[in-house]
Amino acid sequence: MVTKTEETELNQFEIQVENGGGGAWEYLCLVRKLKLRRSEKVLKHGSSILNDPRKRSALGPDEWTLNEQVAIAAMDCQCLDVAQKCIKVLQKKFPGSKRVGRLEALLLEAKGLWGEAEEAYSSLLEDNPLDQAIHKRRVAISKALGKPSIAIELLNKYLQLFMADHDAWKELAELYLSLQMYKQAAFCYEELILSQPIVPLYHLAYADVLYTIGGIENLISARKYYAATIDLTGGKNTRALLGICLCASAIAQLSKGRNKEDKDATAALELHSLAAAAVEKEYKQKVPAKLQLVSSVLRSLKI
C-alpha cells in the first residue's frame, strides 16, 4: 500500500516532470517501485527517454526495464504499435525469455486475440506452473469472454496452489455471487474471515450472503456478523445497522406460530431498537432530507 508520504513525493515529481523540470527517469523509477501504473505519464515520459539515443544509452541495463514498463503502459493506453516496438527490442535482447513471453501474451490480449493469448499462457505455465501472474491472466481472459464458470474453475485450481491469496478468494466469492451460488460464496467469505478476522468488509459481505440465503439459522448468524461489522467499524457502518433491522424483522416473521429458535428475544429486540436509532441519527446528521423516508421504512418493519 502506498503511504501518504510516498504519494506526496510521487505527485511532486509528476508536477516537476510535467512542467519540464527534469527528473523523468527518477519519476518512472518511483512509479515502478510503488507498483503503480500511471500509464499515460509512463508512456509519455518513458517513450521520450527511449526515443532519445543519448538518454537511452545513459540508462545502461535499466534500458530493458524501461522498455518493459513502457510496453505495459502502452498496452493500457491501447498504443499497441509502441508496445510491439518495445517487446521486439526485448525479444532481440532476451530470446526465449519467459518474462518477455508474458509481455507477448499480454499484447495478444490487448489485440483481442483471446485464443492465442490463452495458448501462450498455457505454454508458459507448462514451464512454470507456479507463476501466479499467468494464472490470474487466464482468469481475466475468461471473465473478459463472459465465461464466469471457467473463471471459477481456474480460480479454484489457483487457490489449491496459493490458498493465502486473499484477493483471489474475494474475486471467487464475487464470481459465485454473479451466478447466484450463495452457499459457495459464503464459503469464500468464511475463508477470508478466518485469515483476516478484523476486516469489516468480509464480515459484512458474509452477513449479506447469509441474509440472502435465509432461514432462521442463517438469519441469526447474519445478525451476528452484522453486529461484528458494527463493532469493527466503531458503529459507523450504516449498511450493517440496516442489516440488523432487516434480520430482526425476518426472524420475527419466520418465528410466528413456532417455538422461538432465537432464545434471547428481549436482547434481540433491544439490538434492533439501538440499530434503528443509530440509522436515524446517521441520516439526521448527513442526509436530513431522507430522514422521514428512512424512519417510515424502519417503522414498517414488523418485529
**For 190-218, how does the pLDDT look when each residue is reduced to its tens digit (9 = 90+)?**
999 999 999 999 999 999 999 999 999 99
200 within some domain? no
Let me know: does 72 contact 47? Beta carbons within 8 Å: no
Q: Of 76, 95, 114, which residue is a domain's last? A: 95
| pLDDT reported for residue 2 | 80
Q: Rounded to two decimals, what is the model's pTM?
A: 0.84
Which whole-number Å values give the CA distances from 256 to 94, 184, 244, in the listed order? 72, 30, 19
Q: How many domains does the chain have?
A: 2
Let me know: does 29 contact 57? Beta carbons within 8 Å: no
108 within some domain? no
pLDDT above 70 for 262: no
72 within some domain? yes
Q: How many C-alpha atoms does 205 have within 13 Å on its Cβ side?
A: 24
Whole-number Å distance between alpha carbons of 206 and 222: 7
Q: Which residue has the cell 426472524?
A: 251
Range of the domain at 41: 1-95
Q: E strands of the chain, at which residues?
A: none
174 within some domain? no
Q: Of 35, 61, 95, which residue is a domain's last? A: 95
146 within some domain? no
Band (pLDDT 50/70/90 cuts) for residue 263 is: low
What are 156's three cell numbers?
A: 479454484
pLDDT above 60 for 258: no
pLDDT > 90 in the chain, percent? 75
Whole-number Å distance between alpha carbons of 204 and 226: 6
179 within some domain? no
Task: Give the amino acid at 24.
Answer: A
Q: Of 64, 95, 126, which residue is a domain's last? A: 95
Whole-number Å distance between alpha carbons of 151 and 135: 10
